[in-house]
Structure 1
Amino acid sequence: MKTSAKFIVLHPSIHKPSGGGGGSAVPPPSHRTWLLVFTLFFTVTFAFTLITTRDAARTSAGANTTAKTVLPRPIFDALVHYASTNTTSTSGRMSSAELKSITAVLRRCAAAAPCNLLVFGITHETLLWNSLNHNGRTVFVDESSYLVSKLEENHPGIEAYDVQYTTKVSELSDLMEHYKEQMKNECRPVQNLLFSDCKLAINDLPNHIYDVPWDVILIDGPRGYFPAAPGRMAAIFTAGVLARSKRGGAADTHVFVHEIYREVERSCSDEFLCRENLLETKDSLGHFVVGKMEANRFEFCPNSDSSSLESNSSN
């Protein structure tokens, strides 16, 4: 039997997107899309980090370079001082040869270790010595409390002390007689000056000054060009004792005496620093190299048999 009815079945195509409404829907992102997005994000983040790190490194390097190029304060002050000083007057100043002699020793001393420099006298060259030894220790000793205070006020980093000298140039003969009488007691070459009653000893400096192993001692003060001036007898005697009594540091101490051709400077240098220790003279500057000495010696210059005495000779 024939039938005329026909059934038509309609179903959605698998190629047609589903969804409500008549508009087309956006397909969900695939794994490949997520990977692309993650890769792009990682690349941008890495590039940003690299750029900021490099800029920070450049900034830090620039700051370090700037810090390294800044002159140390002592050198800065010295350059300004000497550039602004009237150079037409040379009174009281050291000559070129004298300056070179001292600076050569300071250079060698600083190359070996931090240098300990003791200077008697505040002079035109004070800032020079302080700047040349800026990595070491520099101490200035002067007769004028006013000059010391002004120096420390204008240059706070400088270490300076004033000393009340009790000697006079006119008393040279009497002082030498006193020394010879006390050369085995209060005026011996190896001792702690802090407790010395020798008239030539400087014993009123701060205690720690006597414990420093001085490598270089420069004597350019106090005044010594008129009879009532303090003279440099005590400074030269003290330098001789400090060099021979040194504990630690180098075996030798370089001692410079300025204006060595004057009577006080010449006679005291011969007696307390010794001619055999004179290395050279440059113009009016004497350069001595003084070694340590055993405590049982009682003469500054070992040129006689009596210079070495056993401390227990009475036994």
Structure 2
Amino acid sequence: MASPMHARRAKLKSHLVSAKAKLKHHVTPRRVLLLATASTSALVLLLTLRTLSSSAAKHGAGVSSSPAPVVLHRAQQQAPLEECGRLPAPVAGALIHYATANATAPGRTAGEIAAAAGVLARRAPCNLLVFGLGHGAALWAALNHGGRTLFLEENDALIPEFGARHPGLAVEAHHVAYLTSVADADELLALRDSPDCTAAAAATDSTHHWLTPGHFDRSACRLAVRGLPPAFYEEEWDVIMVDAPTEEPGMMGAIYTAAIAARARASEPDESGGDTTDVLVHDVDQPVEDRFSTAFLCGGYLKEEVGKLRHFAIPSHREGMPFCP
């Protein structure tokens, strides 16, 4: 007959076997994962509460029952109010325009666009003068956001089309006329030393400090662009981009006018470009643009050449108008 001690041991052994079976049945990999996740979350919550409690004690404040206001306050400190504003209309318009276009600027490489953008990034917001209403016009205006961008176009039919696509920029697009012809390039290049074409200094005075309104219409130089709007004479231009016309009547007049405007600006230094004017000329792979940009903007002022783009930095010549030193 089994003793009472043996009976109790047998009963305990039976309970242990039963408990082991139940534990094996209930402990599944999924339940272990859930248990671990819950434990981790509890630990993170505990550490967060301890951090907030320590921070509050350090500043002499009690622990808040809700940390949400603290988080919002920090977010407001880190995010300036202007970051929540609307995208500027010219920038938004440019994004939409180029997102739906086949190309940003046909005939322009990524390197050429980047070089021009780099000049604008250094000077903007600034006074930007653009000869031509090409496909990249909206891009230049967007990169000069906050500054003034004036467009001069020889083909008057392009102006209403440009205005329909970019109504916010249409007010700064103006029609101008050229008296030049590519066929006369050699004859026009010889005007570099003509007194009629170098006398722009006489058009400035101590009170105006800039070209007098209507100067180019009165000029006897055949290279002068005609019909420049009053807006042209309202500003001294920090950056001038010669992007057209590429065929007849050629870029000769635009290059010449850019050269005079750059040399006639006031000599007072500014923070971004000193007393210089940055002039960008496209299509310098063409013989006319190559020769005229070198002659009138001066090879000695050439800062950079990327592909078909040349960047000149023209200093003020208030005491005279030589095209090269």
TM more than 0.5: yes
Larger Rg: 1
More helix by share: 2
Write the letter of the residue equivalent to 1:98.
E
2:257 is the alignment partner of 1:238: yes
- Change over 3 Å in CA distance of 1:203–1:143 after alignment to 2: closer
Aligned residues: 230
Is there any run of 5+ residues in structure 1 with no aligned partner, and where? Answer: 1-60, 303-315
- Change over 3 Å in CA distance of 1:68–1:189 after alignment to 2: same
1:123-162 to structure 2, matched below 5 A, reads 123-158=134-169, 159-162=172-175
- Change over 3 Å in CA distance of 1:271–1:66 after alignment to 2: closer
Write the letter of the residue equivalent to 2:199.
R
Is there any run of 5+ residues in structure 2 with no aligned partner, and where? Answer: 1-75, 204-210
2:106 is the alignment partner of 1:104: no
Write the letter of the residue equivalent to 1:129.
W
2:84 is the alignment partner of 1:80: no
Q: What is the match of residue 180 of structure 2?
A: 167
Structure 1 contact 258–286 (Cα < 8 Å) conserved: yes
- Provide the rounded CA distance (Å) in 2 between the counterparts of 1:168 and 1:131: 32
- Change over 3 Å in CA distance of 1:122–1:215 after alignment to 2: same
Q: Once the two structures are aligned, what percentage of the paired residues are identical?
A: 37
Structure 2 contact 302–312 (Cα < 8 Å) conserved: yes
Question: Could you list the per-position Cα deviations for residues 167-196 of structure 1 after superposition, in whole angstroms to 9, with x for gaps in the alignment?
Answer: 11111112123443x2x2344353443331
- Provide the rounded CA distance (Å) in 2 between the counterparts of 1:65 and 1:91: 34
- Provide the rounded CA distance (Å) in 2 between the counterparts of 1:258 and 1:196: 26
Question: Could you list the per-position Cα deviations for residues 231-285 of structure 1 after superposition, in whole angstroms to 9, with x for gaps in the alignment?
Answer: 0000000000000001366400000110112111111111111011001100110
1:194-205 to structure 2, matched below 5 A, reads 194=216, 195-205=218-228
- Change over 3 Å in CA distance of 1:242–1:66 after alignment to 2: closer
2:302 is the alignment partner of 1:283: no
Structure 1 contact 246–292 (Cα < 8 Å) conserved: yes
- Change over 3 Å in CA distance of 1:255–1:91 after alignment to 2: closer
- Provide the rounded CA distance (Å) in 2 between the counterparts of 1:163 and 1:218: 15
- Provide the rounded CA distance (Å) in 1 between the counterparts of 2:83 and 2:276: 37
Computed over aligned residues only, the root mean square deviation of the Cα atoms, in angstroms, reads: 2.5
Secondary structure at 2:303 match in 1:
strand
- Provide the rounded CA distance (Å) in 2 between the counterparts of 1:67 and 1:91: 29
2:270 is the alignment partner of 1:253: no
Write the letter of the residue equivalent to 2:284.
I
Structure 2 contact 128–238 (Cα < 8 Å) conserved: yes
Q: What is the match of residue 116 of structure 1?
A: 127
Q: CA deviation at 1:122?
A: 1.2
- Change over 3 Å in CA distance of 1:120–1:299 after alignment to 2: same
Q: CA deviation at 1:109?
A: 0.9
1:25-44 to structure 2, matched below 5 A, reads none
- Provide the rounded CA distance (Å) in 1 between the counterparts of 2:128 and 2:313: 14
Query: Which portions of structure 1, spanning 4 or more consecutive aligned residues, are displaced by more than 4 angstroms?
Result: 64-67
Q: CA deviation at 1:207?
A: 2.5
- Provide the rounded CA distance (Å) in 2 between the counterparts of 1:199 and 1:215: 25
Structure 1 contact 278–287 (Cα < 8 Å) conserved: yes
Write the letter of the residue equivalent to 1:80.
I
Superposition TM-score, scaled by structure 1 size? 0.67
Secondary structure at 1:188 match in 2:
helix
Q: 2:323 aligns with which of 280, 287, 300?
A: 300
- Provide the rounded CA distance (Å) in 1 between the counterparts of 2:235 and 2:146: 16
Structure 1 contact 196–203 (Cα < 8 Å) conserved: no
Secondary structure at 1:123 match in 2:
coil
Question: Could you list the per-position Cα deviations for residues 198-248 of structure 1 after superposition, in whole angstroms to 9, with x for gaps in the alignment?
Answer: 100114111331241111111110123xxxx10000000000000000136
